[in-house]
Amino acid sequence: MALLKEPGYQTVLNGRPLVYAFCGGTFPFDRFNEFLAAVGKEGLNPYCVYMGWNPATDFKSVSKMGFGAVSAYAKPGDQETFTGLVASVENDYWRKAAEAEAPYVPLVTTGWDKRPRQDHPVSWEKDHAYHTQKVFPSRATPEEISSHLESAITFVKSNPRICEANAIIIYAWNEYDEGGWLAPTRGPDGEPDTRRLDAIRKVLRPDHRSANQ
């Protein structure tokens, strides 16, 4: 409750706290109902987004459960290029959500390469199919990510009926061993590599000028 009340918490639709709910297995609707009851007692009206895997059908299942929209945590892929992964996101997620007229928050991907987890397995993904996957999308360039983001912004503007929250979610800040990240890393020279953040800043804040310019 305290987090949702913080002044800097992300809100949409005239002050509604934006809440994403994701579960890798069976979604705990009973627990989610407890959350809704608790925030209701606090006078909060969060805009809850269900993070599933099929926006075209997910909303039919969760619209009566307290969710205002659907989205996705990520998009697995076995394409050879990041461009191919982007095409699958825009076709399988964005386009199908629009066709189904499902309230939607578009996902923007920054990659999907789980080879680090093949080398160093995590306990909660022991039997996942990616352990035998041979091909993963190529590493995204900053320009490819920013182009994908521009397309998402255009999609939101072109579909105000389903994108009522006027929001986009980017996968991810620091999922390094799943292949997607925006967080600065260190370049070969040992200095912070902020190129991915710089690229999306040019899209989100095109008039921004750094202190060095």
Q: Where are the domains of the chain?
A: 2-204
Phi, psi of 50 (to 5 degrees): -85, 125
- Check: pTM over 0.95? Answer yes or no: no
Residues in the chain where the model's pLDDT stays below 70: 208-213
pLDDT in tens, 111-122: 999 999 999 999
pLDDT in tens, 40-87: 999 999 999 999 999 989 999 999 999 999 999 999 999 999 999 999
Considering only the C-alpha atoms of the chain, give the largest distance between any 2 of them, rounded to a whole number of Å: 53
| Cα distance between residue 76 and residue 53, in whole Å | 10
